[in-house]
Structure 1
Amino acid sequence: MRRLQTKLSVCEPPAKQQQAFFLQHIAAAHGRALSAPGGRVGGESDQLDLLHACCPEKHPRLSECLERLQLVSLGSFCGVKFSLQRLGLGTAHLPFDWIRTTQDGVERFLETNFSEYFFVASRLQIEPAALTVHRGAHHSFWHDDVSDITVRDKLRRRVARFLDLAANFPTQSRDFLFVRSCACTSELHRAEELYSALEERFSCRGQTKSPRVLLAIIIDGQVQRQGPIYHASLPGLIFFTQEQPSEEDATDGQAYSWAIAAACETALEESTE
């Protein structure tokens, strides 16, 4: 009997255009940010913007949320934006989405129109991950090389988009729901300061009817899920506690999905009262 021989062909690396399309598909359809050889591990931020774009598991009241709420991530890291996208609520690409930042950093940027956004004091090279982190006093860039002028132009557009939201806030028909994960215990004691900074930046002085400024703060690493927990004197400030997200949940964009979905439900219900 003659043995059949099969010649195995080795797939050649895809062309650059095909490669980009493939990475975009993986991000949008499968929620994974991959990189091509020589690229940044985890992908550039514009690739992260595509995560879960085609995911069928959206917020159950998605159309109502998009019509009545403007969702804005305030960090403290990319897990918040990732979960917003998983719920179908991360359509606006803004400056806090894919960076790490302290509460001091958020307040400083709000006060100074992001004038110090590109102030980085050092670079940290993480060799095993082929990753360069650009670090400032209160924030760091993990998914963008801010030494690249093209990247800075992209980030400037995100800053401009945020400032436009603030400038046009009085004419908005939607309430603004800001979401932040608490970076440390000391920030929790200063939540009122952050809410005050948001109210100062997004203000409608002299208007009888105006959009609401809402801030949801998520405290993870807790024993159980609780919330909404209302502030004693600030009705627009609410808290949620939850367990530490597992690595699987974080990778799948579900680190804060429960808390964000609950915050949206709270905002929608209270706006009809």
Structure 2
Amino acid sequence: MSRRVSALIKASHPEPAVAVTAVAALLAWGVGHRPVGIILVALTIAATQLAVGWTNDWLDADRDRQVGRADKPVPAGAVSHRTVGVAGLVAAAATPLLAAPTGVPAAACITGALLSALAYNWPLKFTVVSVLPYAVSFGALPAFVVLALPGAPAPPAWLVAAGALLGAGAHFANVLPDLADDARTGVHGLPHRLGATGSGLAAAGLLAAATVTLVAGPPGPPSWAGLAAVAGTVLILATGWYVARRAATDGTRPNAVFRAVMLVAVIDVVLLVASGPVA
């Protein structure tokens, strides 16, 4: 693999891209998609993630240079600004095309989710409503997966609510490592207004609420496994917060909370898969 291709992949934010795509594929399996449907869902979600990641680095290139982000491929000169922008445009255009075989309702849903995510990249990340695109886009993701089933059944409200809560929590956690750099370049989204402590508490509360919704939302009483998942979520988030605080005192980038978010997302998907088809 050439250095340029490797740098382009890195500019796509591969860690969250792979995580969200894997979550969507597992979710598709859990709600009853056949193999072809799972592949279509995974490819569509992968395209949205690539579009959002590349567009983010394309828009943020000047800001990243200002704060010396040598770990970012564009400011480091590993890949050109134009290449990343074109890649983001191609991925965005591919999303509705990949989603088309899933039906009009599903394709419209995921296209709206992509537009919402792109609106976060610009201009909403700079505003007090910066959390809104995350809630909308992550709430739309499970809705898309269910709508893509034959007959386009309506997604359960608890499933959409859990996705929205997870997305909102992910926003606060994702911004935590960059609060100082963002403040230097004029980004004043909701997490920046709340500060590190407020954002950490918001992330923990929203993610815990997402897990509780997945445990209590499906018909029937919560299982012991579900209750154990709630307890595990609290433990994981508390550990992530503690490690992040220690990292902050050492002067390193506190990515532990974000990784805790990804682990909680896996727990939530396991809960959903264990509950069986939802439509």
TM range (shorter): 0.3 to 0.5
TM-score by length of 2: 0.37
TM-score by length of 1: 0.37
Q: Higher strand share goes to which structure?
A: 1
Q: Higher helix share goes to which structure?
A: 2
Larger radius of gyration: 1
